[in-house]
Amino acid sequence: MAVATVAALLAALGGGLWLAARRFVGSRAQRLQGSADSGLMRGKTVLITGANSGLGRATAAELLRMGARVIMGCRDRARAEAAAGQLRRELDQAEGPRPDARAAGELVVKELDLASLRSVRAFCQELLQEEPRLDVLINNAGIFQCPYAKTEDGFEMQFGVNHLGHFLLTHLLLGLLKNSAPSRIVVVSSKLYKYGDINFEDLNSEQSYNKSFCYSRSKLANILFTRELARRLEGTNVTVNVLHPGIVRTNLGRHINIPLLVKPLFNLVSWAFFKTPAEGAQTSIFLASSPEIEGVSGKYFGDCKEEELLPKAVDELVARKLWDISEVMVGILK
Ligand SMILES: NC(=O)c1ccc[n+]([C@@H]2O[C@H](COP(=O)([O-])OP(=O)(O)OC[C@H]3O[C@@H](n4cnc5c(N)ncnc54)[C@H](OP(=O)(O)O)[C@@H]3O)[C@@H](O)[C@H]2O)c1
Ligand SMILES: *[C@@H]1O[C@H](CO)[C@@H](O)[C@H](O)[C@H]1NC(C)=O
Ligand SMILES: *[C@@H]1O[C@H](CO)[C@@H](O)[C@H](O)[C@H]1NC(C)=O
């Protein structure tokens, strides 16, 4: 009996130490990566959607440190201003008191609700008036497995925000991106695209709603959109690539109910095994800033490396049909 108890205690202790070691090593690797390339983005303007939280916030922090002018496109001004204030303070602490040593860029908060085409249009109108250039657009904002809801324009919420809102946003900013070439578009998708399909007969899920399917469908749409856009942008020096960040500890799971009793276990597992936002943001940062991928377009990345896609994500006919229908849905058909 006593032996079993001691063995269990030792196993628990060993497990705890191992988890802590994993965390420690992880954050060390992250610090090392974060020490390079300051100033790489000086003079460049970057727009990040959903930049107040999770991956978007971590991406903003790093590109800001690299000297970029970072526009945070966020649906809630108060949350965005709070995040911007925090990012500025973190930067000041990291940079120290010498103002001449400061290489960092600046943060600009702008309201953008991707669940409203009116908001997307107003946002772009203002941005086009105020910004002489746009070097990088990062379509990062996303919503995950929410209960059934519709956007202001009647689209299923996940398809509406994750795909259609960004579709219109990109369309309206494409002229500025082309004028700022070489420029880049970065699309944040997810490995969960594998469980989706573009079911053209019910894009608004009015016949039936499956929240996991709809998330996966929206993330598959992100990839098909990237591939079709890359084809259309050939020869313009505007590139577009798509990525999956891995599993990252963010606010994305806000609509998932975890039973109270399981919560501590979930927190432990996610602390040990999920990426931190700064780790998860590495591929977004890489695609937005690295000279290594200059000229690369239409590709899918994970952990800063190109990855293979399933056949359904490289289907050109589906990509074109989705493009055409999206144009009709957001009202830009020429
Ligand atoms: N976390 C992961 O494990 C994981 C895995 C694969 C892919 N991803 C993708 O990573 C991206 C970022 O997610 P995250 O994990 O960083 O989650 P997060 O912490 O929840 O951040 C999502 C961001 O999107 C914003 N957003 C949601 N609806 C919006 C709308 N209608 N208009 C404008 N902004 C809106 C949120 O704004 P509020 O703060 O105002 O709600 C928030 O800033 C998403 O595209 C997600 O699909 C994440
Ligand atoms: C919902 O969709 C997911 C992903 O496509 C699938 O695995 C699951 O079986 C579906 N659930 C129902 C109830 O149809
Ligand atoms: C793209 O970039 C190359 C190399 O900088 C340049 O020669 C070419 O004119 C550019 N093309 C366009 C359409 O801007």
The predicted-structure confidence for 285-334, as pLDDT tens digits, reads as follows: 999 999 999 999 999 999 999 999 999 999 999 999 999 999 999 999 76
Q: Would the CB of 223 count as within 6 Å of ligand 1?
A: no
The predicted-structure confidence for 162-188, as pLDDT tens digits, reads as follows: 999 999 999 999 999 999 999 999 999
The predicted-structure confidence for 192-214, as pLDDT tens digits, reads as follows: 999 999 999 999 999 999 999 99
Task: Report the pLDDT value the prediction gives residue 101, as an integer from 0 to 100.
Answer: 47
Question: Which tops the pLDDT comparison, 329 or 265?
Answer: 329
Give the residue numbers marked as catalytic.
215
| pTM for this entry | 0.92
Q: Would the CB of 247 count as within 6 Å of ligand 1?
A: yes
Q: What is the largest CA-CA distance in the chain?
A: 78
13 has a pLDDT exceeding 80: no
> Which atom of ligand 3 sits closest to the CA of residue 237?
1
32 has a pLDDT exceeding 60: no
Structure tokens at 282: 């590495």
State the residue for tokens 């090593």.
25
Please tell me the distance between residue 162's alpha carbon and the centre of ligand 1 in angstroms: 9
Q: What is the arithmetic mean of pLDDT over 22-29?
A: 53
Bridge partner residues of 47 (DSSP):
71, 137
Task: Report the pLDDT value the prediction gives residue 269, as an integer from 0 to 100.
Answer: 87
- Confidence at 12, pLDDT banded by 50, 70, 90: low
Q: Whose CA is nearest to atom 2 of ligand 3?
A: 237
Q: How far is Cα 156 from Cα 268, in angstroms, rounded to an integer?
A: 33
Contacts of 22 (CB under 8 A, 6+ apart): 272, 273
Q: Would the CB of 142 count as within 6 Å of ligand 1?
A: yes
Burial class (CB in 10 A: 0-12, 13-18, 19+), 189: buried
- In the chain, the percentage of residues whose pLDDT exceeds 90 is 77
Task: Report the pLDDT value the prediction gives residue 29, as an integer from 0 to 100.
Answer: 44
Q: What is the arithmetic mean of pLDDT over 240-254?
A: 95
